């Protein structure tokens, strides 16, 4: 006699790679065996064939529709995550004798600053290091001659998010890896946006860039071809073999966002998830949230139990309940609940139920 194993329902709160929409997983699994009835797997098709070109064109078109971009902007899908862009942005935008302004709002902004300093001068326009990056500094200071201002729009590790972007007369550059396509945004405020796909727009392995064309071509520096944005634009993201499957999953995810109602709908769902979780946390003194309320991230809620033994017990109960990815980042600790686009409200409800029951026993 054969027995069928019972599979526990998992609630995926991973910070990235993170949860994907079920329809995307279903379609991608079919394409692994037979892509669009070609008799070939999506893993086997040539990247310069019409099959993949259609995938790439559809992904780019979805990005431009969702962001409401005009022909001033180019969209690229490249290898490497956002960490590669910490180097590639200044390589393309910052001359050795020029200055760039950066916001230090957490670990990722700090890493970006270190990489940019290899290519030119860097000034820190604002920092939240004085309070362990638990807020977003609003009063930014930088020279008007700066080549650009760089921000990280959402800080996955510390749990902060820009809800109002800085107004500036210099080009604005953003790492939007962890809140891209989660809400309506005036994307035309930005001259360059980059985002690793593995949180809100696909699987790990591809990096999306949106570039306003007039920001390029102003450097004296010679740029290696494979790192040169202009060369990638000229090659249509096909300078070398792209991460075909990752681009395909991004295309499916972008299509899912559009079919679900676009960024207005994503923003409404995001606010509902975050409000439910934060309201619950605020009602339970056992759990401590140190992030300034006006700067709380709707993507990544970070909180703590002051008794470390009790906190570890809570994490154990999360594991037993099928809650995945809730342990805080190694440099910060605590508990982190990530709530990206594909996370169903039922998972947040399950988490709030556990928070309440745990607090009732130990609060």
Q: Please determine, for residue 2, whether its predicted confidence score (pLDDT) is greater than 80.
A: no
Residue 6 within a domain: no
Tell me the mean pLDDT in the region 331-343.
96
**Quick one: which of 241, 209, 242 has its CA closest to 92?**
209
pLDDT band for 22, please (50, 70, 90 cuts).
very high
pLDDT digits (tens, 9 = 90+) for 104-117: 999 999 999 999 99
- Residue 249 sits in the same domain as residue 268: no
**What local confidence, expressed as pLDDT, does residue 176 receive?**
98
Q: Give percent of the chain with pLDDT exceeding 90.
A: 96
Q: Residue 338: is its pLDDT beyond 90?
A: yes
Whether 208 and 267 share a structural domain: no
- Of the chain, the percentage scoring pLDDT greater than 70 comes to 98
Paired with 174 in beta bridges are 151, 193
Strand 149-152 with 172-175, pairing: parallel
The domain that holds 292 is classified in CATH as 3.90.1150.10
**Residue-level length of the chain:** 363
**Sequence-separated (6 or more) residues with CB below 8 Å from residue 264:** 184
Assign residue 220 the CATH number of its domain: 3.40.640.10
Give the domain-ending residue among 260, 293, 314: 260
Say yes or no: 29 and 138 in one domain: yes
- More confidently predicted of 230 and 7: 230
Residue 85 has pLDDT above 60, yes or no: yes
Question: Residue 286 — very low, low, confident or very high, per pLDDT cuts 50/70/90?
Answer: very high
Helix 82-93, helix 107-116: angle, nearest 10: 40
Domain end: 240, 260, 280, which one? 260
Say how many C-beta atoms besides its own lie within 10 A of residue 230's C-beta: 15
Of 241, 260, 279, the residue at which a domain comes to its end is 260
Claim to verify: residue 222 and residue 335 sit in the same structural domain:
no
Residue 105: inside a domain? yes
Res. 289 pLDDT band, cuts 50 70 90:
very high
Query: Taking all residues of the chain, what is their mean pLDDT, rounded to a whole number?
Result: 95
Confidence of residue 1 (pLDDT cuts 50, 70, 90): very low
pLDDT at position 8: 53
Residues annotated as catalytic are 108, 175, 199
Q: pTM for this structure?
A: 0.95
Provide the number of structural domains found in the chain: 2
Q: Which residues pair with 101 in a beta bridge?
A: 123, 149
Whole-angstrom distance, CA of residue 33 vs CA of residue 108: 37
Q: Is residue 14 part of a domain?
A: no
In this prediction, residue 167 has a pLDDT band, given cuts at 50, 70 and 90, of very high
Residue 133 lies in a domain: yes
| E-state strands within the chain | 11-12, 73-78, 99-104, 121-127, 149-152, 154-155, 160-161, 172-175, 192-196, 207-212, 300-303, 323-324, 335-338
Overall average pLDDT of the 49-78 stretch: 97
């Amino acid at each position: 006699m054969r027995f069928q194993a019972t599979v526990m329902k998992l609630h995926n709160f991973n910070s990235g790679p993170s949860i994907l929409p079920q329809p995307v997983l279903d379609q991608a699994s079919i394409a692994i065996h037979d892509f669009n009835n070609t008799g070939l797997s999506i893993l086997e098709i040539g990247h310069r064939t019409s099959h993949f070109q259609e995938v790439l064109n559809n992904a780019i078109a979805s990005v431009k529709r969702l962001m409401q971009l005009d022909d001033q902007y180019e969209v690229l899908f490249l290898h490497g995550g956002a960490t590669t862009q910490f180097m590639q942005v200044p390589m393309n935008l910052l001359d050795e004798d020029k200055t760039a302004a950066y916001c230090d709002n957490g670990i990722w902004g700090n890493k970006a600053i270190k990489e940019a300093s290899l290519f030119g001068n860097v000034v820190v326009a604002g920092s939240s290091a004085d309070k362990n990056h638990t807020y977003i500094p609003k009063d930014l200071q930088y020279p008007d001659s700066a080549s650009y201002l760089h921000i990280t729009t959402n800080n996955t590790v510390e749990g902060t998010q820009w809800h109002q972007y800085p107004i500036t007369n210099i080009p604005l550059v953003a790492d939007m890896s962890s809140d891209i396509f989660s809400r309506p945004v005036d994307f035309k405020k930005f001259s360059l946006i980059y985002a690793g796909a593995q949180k809100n727009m696909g699987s790990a392995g591809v990096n999306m860039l949106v570039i306003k064309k007039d920001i390029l071509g102003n450097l004296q520096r010679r740029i290696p071809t494979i790192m040169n944005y202009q060369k990638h634009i000229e090659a249509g993201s096909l300078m070398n073999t792209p991460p075909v499957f990752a681009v395909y999953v991004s295309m499916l995810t972008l299509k899912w966002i559009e079919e679900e109602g676009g960024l207005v709908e994503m923003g409404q769902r995001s606010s509902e998830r975050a409000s439910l979780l934060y309201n619950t946390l605020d009602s339970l003194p056992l759990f401590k949230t140190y992030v300034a309320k006006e700067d709380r991230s709707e993507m990544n809620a970070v909180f703590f139990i002051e008794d470390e033994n009790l906190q570890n017990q809570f994490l154990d109960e999360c594991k037993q309940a099928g809650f995945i990815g809730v342990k805080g980042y190694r440099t910060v600790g605590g508990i982190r609940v990530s709530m990206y686009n594909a996370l169903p409200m039922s998972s947040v409800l399950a988490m709030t139920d556990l928070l309440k029951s745990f607090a009732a026993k130990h609060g």
